[in-house]
Structure formats: structure tokens, C-alpha cells
């Protein structure tokens, strides 16, 4: 059997290695149009920023390695121009001499990945404007910085790459400006979580422009849509990627969402004996079962392994993804998995949101706060999605949530997880457990939550309600929601009889715990409907203008 693979980065090399492990008899040939293979693209910003000294660590394997260890032939600087399914052939161009030739296959795996999107802005072809998608891109950016010593840089786009590049260029002493066309940065997050990231960027002297676009790039500036001119000597365009599927489409291979290749759980396309994997394919959501496009190196490796297994008779199949992602921005960690609130709304879920603000470990052991936003199905209790921003232990918590969601956990299940505890690592009740307790109380124990956004809607509705600030007087006097009455938690029992028990009541404190304690007292005293402001005044304050408190 002759197996041809188009593309030799994460997915392609994973497919080849797995196919060889399954079969010593197969002929395996990879074609790669670039000069590098099997590299760690996610590490590139850290080499540019100097955190990683040796670029060779990002390219640990070359064609000679695959030939000696796996007996696999990898031909770099060879571009596949077309696929001919009826004849089971491909046309290949040797980029070093422009010669073209035909190769034949029994099984074909497409792992062509994706390319950086370059918006149609005048000046994007200038020599100081770059995208970052390949090792060659990385080397060009590094060489430009070494040779020109830019003092300013503008980054268009605020996804993972844009933010990671802002940190690493700042590390080199370069002043950074971020430009985002949406009203918020980090488009994958909900706006009430991205605001923490934007605040952190500003604390680290990064200038942020949102709700605007670049309309022209000159030799020394970027011109924004409102006429603002930003001085910049280096421009990084990081507005997203697009799957490399044009020649697949020309061959009759069916495409789906985002122009990515449709595959089944065994990585098979609609054409017999043609498979696809990596960043060029669409994926399946573990939450909804619907197709999504969330290209990541971890998923590329996984789908590559499945493709290599299936072309050699194996039984692996793809179960789907949650769209999990994590990145570091300066000393802050940002992570997400599953559905955002925005997506839950679009999909029609009846859901509940909680904000849990807790340290990753005791403060006496250096613990720092993390904010955990959890979205859960109000009817079933199933966890739908989680977003976390914090400074320690975020990676641990997001992976616990990923595991729980993958196996269908409900909010009430989180409290019962037997998580590891010792003061250097966690609090006695881990933040994951606390999130479960908060949601379980809201869904099953008549301890409803209200978010800051929902409180705004309530205020605009004209419905009568009381809002109680349960903090001590000094905290209330310093700053509070402008419609709130100060009834400290320790005094609430003695004065609650003077309140109307039939009027909807909202309680809040700094982060939610004392607000919940006050809520418990009022409900136990016969109040009909009492909501606790999730995330307390901290969450309200960061999502509102100062005139609101």
C-alpha cells in the first residue's frame, strides 16, 4: 500500500508516524511545500521575544530523522498542485527547480493546514509588515528586529497570536499598540471576562484600540478608520487563519464551515481513500455535536494520529472537541473551554452564569485571585463552558473543567470531585468545587444568581426591587452601586423585618460569599425572591462605568 500525505507539520507527521507504527509494509511519502517540518508553531512568539534562546528547539525533527526512525520519505519544498481522485494521482511541483511530476497513491491524507489571513489594507505588502504562521515567518520577524531595532510596534488582531506577540515584543523594550475591530479584545472570551485582560494590558503599558480597523499602513504609521494615526516601525497582522483547501475543493472534496474540509469520525472525506486532518478540517463540538472550526496544535496532532491509524486499518475515531484554549499575557493566564455565554445565547440554551472569585491557594502561601465564569444548563445542570483569568493554577482548573465537561458532569458533581489539596497547591475547597457549589445552590437549592448584565436589565424594566449592599459601612461609603442600601450582613437579622418580603431583593458583597450569606438569611426569614449578585461588586465594577457606582 502506498500512502501519500500532503503537509508535514503537526497533523501530517503524526499521521505518518502512526501509519508506520501500524504497518511496516506501507510506502509512506510526505510532500511539504515549506522548508521546515514538524515544528512547534506555538513556541514562535517566545523565540522572537528572547525567552527561548535556541530556534532549533522548535524544529527538533527533520526529514532525515523520519527516514532513519520510521522509514518515511519527506520531500520538502514540494508543492502539491492538484489531486485526481479518479486516477488516484497527484501533481507535484518541485519548488527548487520548477519541475512537475505525477505520483500515485492507494490512500491519500490531506494535512495542508491553514494560512494567515492578510486583510485588503493598502500597505500590507510593505517590508515591515508580517504575519506569524511558519518558522520562515518567525525568522523574518526576528531578523527585522535584530537589524532595525524598532522602538514601536502595532499588532492588528487580539487573538492568541496577537496577545502573545504583544507580550514578547514588549519584553524586547518595544512599545505596543493593539488594534481590534470588535468592541472587545480576545474575541473568544465574553466581554465581561475580556475586560480583565484589557485592564491587565493597560497596566503593562500596552495601548489598546477597539471597535476600529486599520485602513492604511504607511512606512511609519497605521491609519485607523476614525483618522487616528499610530506611529509604528513594525506591524504584525494577526487577524486569524484560513484553511488551505482550494485544491481539495477543486478535486471535488466537500468543504464545510469556514471553508474547511468535511470529515467523518475516521477522518474520511466524501471521496473514497482520501482522508484529511489538522487545521484544514472542520471539527465537531462535544457540547452540541455541531461542526465548528477551532484549529489548535493539540487537535492537529490528535486528528493526524487518527488519520494515520484509519488508513492502515485501525479503529481510532474522533469524538470531538470543546475548543479549549489557554495563553499567557505577561503574568496573567487566560483559559476557556466549551461554550461562551454568547454562544449559549445563539444556540438557544436556557442557562445560568456564575462568577467565582477565589485564590488559587491560600494567601499565606502566595495565592492570587482567579475569576472563573461558568455557564451551565439551567434545566439539566450540565456544565456548558468555562472561562478563567488569573495568575496561578489556571491551567490546572481549566483541565479539571475540560475533563468534567467531556464526561457530561453536572454542576452538583463538581463539589464531589476528590481533588488534591495541600496549602502550596490549593484551598481546602478548590475553586472548581466552589463553582459547583454556587451553581448547585442556584439551580437546585433556591439560591438564584443575578449577573451584572441581568441587574442592568432589571433596572431598565421598571420592576420594583431592593438592592442590599451587605458589606461593612466603610466599604459601602468608598464605592457602591448607586441604587443600593447598606445593610451589613452582621446587622441584617435585626433589621430585615422592616423590609418588604414580597419585593424582589438583590444582595451583594465584594465577591459573592457574604452576599450569599445575606441571601440565605432573607430567604430563611420568609422573603419570596432573593437574588445574589454573582461575582459581587468586583464583577459589577469592572464591567461598568464609574458613573454607575
Q: What is the model's pTM?
A: 0.95
Q: Which of 99, 104, 59 is nearest to 79 (CA)?
A: 99
User: Residue 399: what pLDDT?
Assistant: 98
Active-site residue list: 42
Give the number of domains in the chain.
4
Cβ atoms of 532 and 539 closer than 8 Å = no
The verdict on 161 and 188 lying in the same domain is: yes
Residue 37: which of 73, 1, 85 has the closest Cα? Answer: 73
SS3 category, 118:
coil
Predicted pLDDT of residue 40: 85
Q: Which three cell numbers stand for residue 217?
A: 499602513
Assess whether 504 and 468 both reside in one domain. Answer: yes
Residues 528 and 511 in one domain: yes
Last residue of one domain, picked from the residues 239, 255, 272: 239
Distance, in Å, from the CA atom of 185 to the CA atom of 195, rounded to the nearest integer, reads: 8
| Contact criterion met (CB below 8 Å) for 48 and 341 | no
- Residue 283 sits in the same domain as residue 361: no
Asked whether residue 39 falls in the same domain as residue 84, the answer is: yes
Q: Is residue 156 part of a domain?
A: yes
Is residue 321, in this structure, part of any structural domain at all? no
Residue 128, φ and ψ in degrees, nearest 5: -100, 10
CA angle centred on 69, ends 109 and 45, rounded to 5°? 70
Say yes or no: 177 and 277 in one domain: no
Res 546: pLDDT: 74
CATH number, domain at 200?
Answer: 3.50.50.60
**Radius of gyration of the chain from Cα atoms?**
27
Residue 144: predicted pLDDT: 98
pLDDT for position 450: 98
pLDDT at 15: 98
- In the numeric block, the cell 464591567 is attached to 543
Q: Residue 121 domain-assigned?
A: no
- Phi, psi dihedrals of residue 198, rounded to the nearest 5°: -65, -40
| Shared-domain flag, residues 536 and 464 | yes
Please tell me whether residues 347 and 430 are part of one structural domain.
yes
- How far apart, in Å, are the Cα atoms of 315 and each of 232, 254, 306, 389, 543? 53, 23, 8, 38, 49
Domain that holds residue 540: 449-548
Distance CA 432, CA 419 (A): 9
- Could you tell me if residue 37 is inside a domain? yes
pLDDT of residue 27: 98
The CATH number for 541's domain is 3.40.250.10
Let me know whether 200 and 137 are in one domain. yes
Task: Tally Cβ neighbours within 10 Å of residue 126.
Answer: 12
DSSP assignment string, 192-216: HHHHHHHHHHHHTT-EEE-S--EEE
Are 234 and 247 contained in the same domain? no
Rounded to whole angstroms, how far apart are CA atoms 16 and 457?
A: 55
Q: Of 444, 477, 496, which residue constitutes the final position of a domain?
A: 444
Q: Which residue has the cell 514578547?
A: 168
Beta-carbon-side half-sphere exposure of residue 177 (alpha carbons within 13 Å): 22
Residue finishing a domain among 239, 255, 288: 239
What is the reported pLDDT for 497? 87
Same domain, 292 and 377: no
Q: Does residue 376 lie in a domain region?
A: yes
Is residue 41 in a domain? Answer: yes
Residues 419 and 478 in one domain: no
| The three cell numbers locating residue 123 | 500597505
Q: Alpha-carbon distance 78 to 85, whole Å?
A: 20
Residue 470 in domain: yes
Is position 322 within any domain? no
CA atoms within 13 A on the CB side of 129: 22
Q: What is the pLDDT along the chain (549 residues), one digit of tens a residue?
A: 999 999 999 999 999 999 999 999 999 999 999 999 988 888 999 999 999 999 989 988 899 999 999 999 999 999 999 999 999 999 999 999 999 999 999 999 999 999 999 999 999 999 999 999 999 999 999 999 999 999 999 999 999 999 999 999 999 999 999 999 999 999 999 999 999 999 999 999 999 999 999 999 999 999 999 999 999 999 999 999 999 999 999 999 999 999 999 999 999 999 999 999 999 999 999 999 999 999 999 999 999 999 999 999 999 999 999 999 999 999 999 999 999 999 999 999 999 999 999 999 999 999 999 999 999 999 999 999 999 999 999 999 999 999 999 999 999 999 999 999 999 999 999 999 999 999 999 999 999 999 999 999 999 998 999 999 999 999 999 999 999 999 999 999 998 888 999 999 999 999 999 999 999 999 999 999 999 999 999 999 999 987 778
Amino acid at each position: 500500500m502506498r500512502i501519500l500525505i500532503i503537509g508535514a507539520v503537526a497533523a501530517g507527521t503524526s499521521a505518518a508516524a502512526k501509519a508506520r507504527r501500524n504497518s511496516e509494509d506501507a510506502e509512506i511519502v510526505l510532500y511539504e511545500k515549506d522548508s521546515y517540518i514538524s515544528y512547534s508553531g506555538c513556541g514562535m512568539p517566545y523565540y522572537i521575544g528572547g525567552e527561548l534562546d535556541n530556534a532549533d528547539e522548535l524544529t527538533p525533527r527533520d526529514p532525515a530523522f523520519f527516514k532513519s526512525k520510521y522509514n518515511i520519505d519527506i520531500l520538502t519544498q514540494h508543492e502539491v498542485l492538484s489531486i485526481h481522485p479518479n486516477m488516484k494521482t497527484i501533481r507535484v511541483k518541485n519548488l527548487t527547480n520548477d519541475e512537475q511530476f505525477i505520483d500515485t497513491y492507494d490512500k491519500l491524507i490531506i494535512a495542508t493546514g491553514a494560512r494567515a489571513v492578510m486583510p485588503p489594507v493598502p500597505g500590507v505588502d510593505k517590508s515591515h509588515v508580517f504575519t506569524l504562521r511558519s518558522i520562515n515567518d518567525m525568522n523574518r520577524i526576528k531578523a527585522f528586529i535584530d537589524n532595525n531595532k524598532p522602538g514601536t510596534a502595532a499588532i492588528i488582531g487580539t487573538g492568541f497570536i496577537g496577545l502573545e506577540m504583544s507580550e514578547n515584543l514588549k519584553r524586547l523594550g518595544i512599545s505596543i499598540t493593539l488594534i481590534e475591530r470588535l468592541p472587545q479584545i480576545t474575541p473568544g472570551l465574553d466581554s465581561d471576562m475580556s475586560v480583565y485582560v484589557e485592564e491587565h494590558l493597560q497596566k503593562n503599558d500596552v495601548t489598546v484600540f477597539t471597535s476600529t480597523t486599520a485602513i492604511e499602513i504607511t512606512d511609519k504609521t497605521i491609519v485607523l478608520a476614525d483618522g487616528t494615526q499610530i506611529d509604528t516601525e513594525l506591524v504584525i497582522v494577526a487577524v486569524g487563519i484560513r484553511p488551505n483547501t482550494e485544491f481539495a475543493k477543486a478535486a471535488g472534496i466537500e468543504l464545510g464551515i469556514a471553508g474547511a474540509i468535511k470529515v467523518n469520525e475516521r477522518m474520511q472525506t466524501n471521496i473514497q481513500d482520501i482522508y484529511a486532518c489538522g487545521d484544514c478540517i472542520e471539527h465537531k463540538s462535544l457540547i452540541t455535536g455541531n461542526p465548528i472550526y477551532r484549529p489548535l496544535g493539540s487537535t492537529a496532532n490528535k486528528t493526524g494520529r487518527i488519520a494515520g491509524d484509519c488508513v492502515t486499518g485501525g479503529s481510532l475515531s474522533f469524538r470531538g472537541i470543546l475548543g479549549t484554549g489557554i495563553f499567557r499575557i505577561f503574568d496573567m493566564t487566560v483559559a476557556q473551554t466549551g461554550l461562551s455565554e454568547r454562544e449559549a445565547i445563539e444556540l438557544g440554551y436556557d442557562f445560568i452564569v456564575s462568577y467565582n472569585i477565589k485564590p488559587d491557594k491560600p494567601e499565606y502561601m502566595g495565592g492570587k485571585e482567579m475569576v472563573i465564569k461558568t455557564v451551565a444548563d439551567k434545566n439539566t445542570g450540565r456544565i456548558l463552558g468555562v472561562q478563567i483569568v488569573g495568575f496561578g493554577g489556571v491551567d490546572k482548573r481549566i483541565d479539571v473543567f475540560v475533563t468534567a465537561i467531556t464526561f457530561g458532569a453536572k454542576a452538583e458533581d463538581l463539589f464531589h470531585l476528590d481533588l488534591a489539596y495541600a496549602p502550596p497547591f490549593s484551598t481546602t475547597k478548590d475553586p472548581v468545587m466552589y463553582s459547583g457549589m454556587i451553581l448547585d445552590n442556584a439551580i437546585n437549592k433556591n439560591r438564584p444568581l443575578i449577573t451584572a448584565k441581568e441587574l442592568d436589565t432589571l433596572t431598565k424594566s421598571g420592576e420594583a426591587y431592593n438592592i442590599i449592599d451587605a458589606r461593612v459601612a466603610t466599604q459601602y461609603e468608598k464605592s457602591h452601586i448607586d441604587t443600593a442600601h447598606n445593610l451589613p450582613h452582621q446587622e441584617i437579622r435585626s433589621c430585615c423585618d422592616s423590609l418588604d418580603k414580597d419585593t424582589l431583593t438583590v444582595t451583594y458583597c465584594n465577591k459573592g460569599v457574604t452576599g450569599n450569606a445575606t441571601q440565605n438569611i432573607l430567604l430563611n426569614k420568609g422573603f419570596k425572591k432573593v437574588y445574589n449578585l454573582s461575582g459581587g461588586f468586583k464583577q459589577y465594577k469592572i464591567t461598568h462605568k464609574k458613573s454607575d457606582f
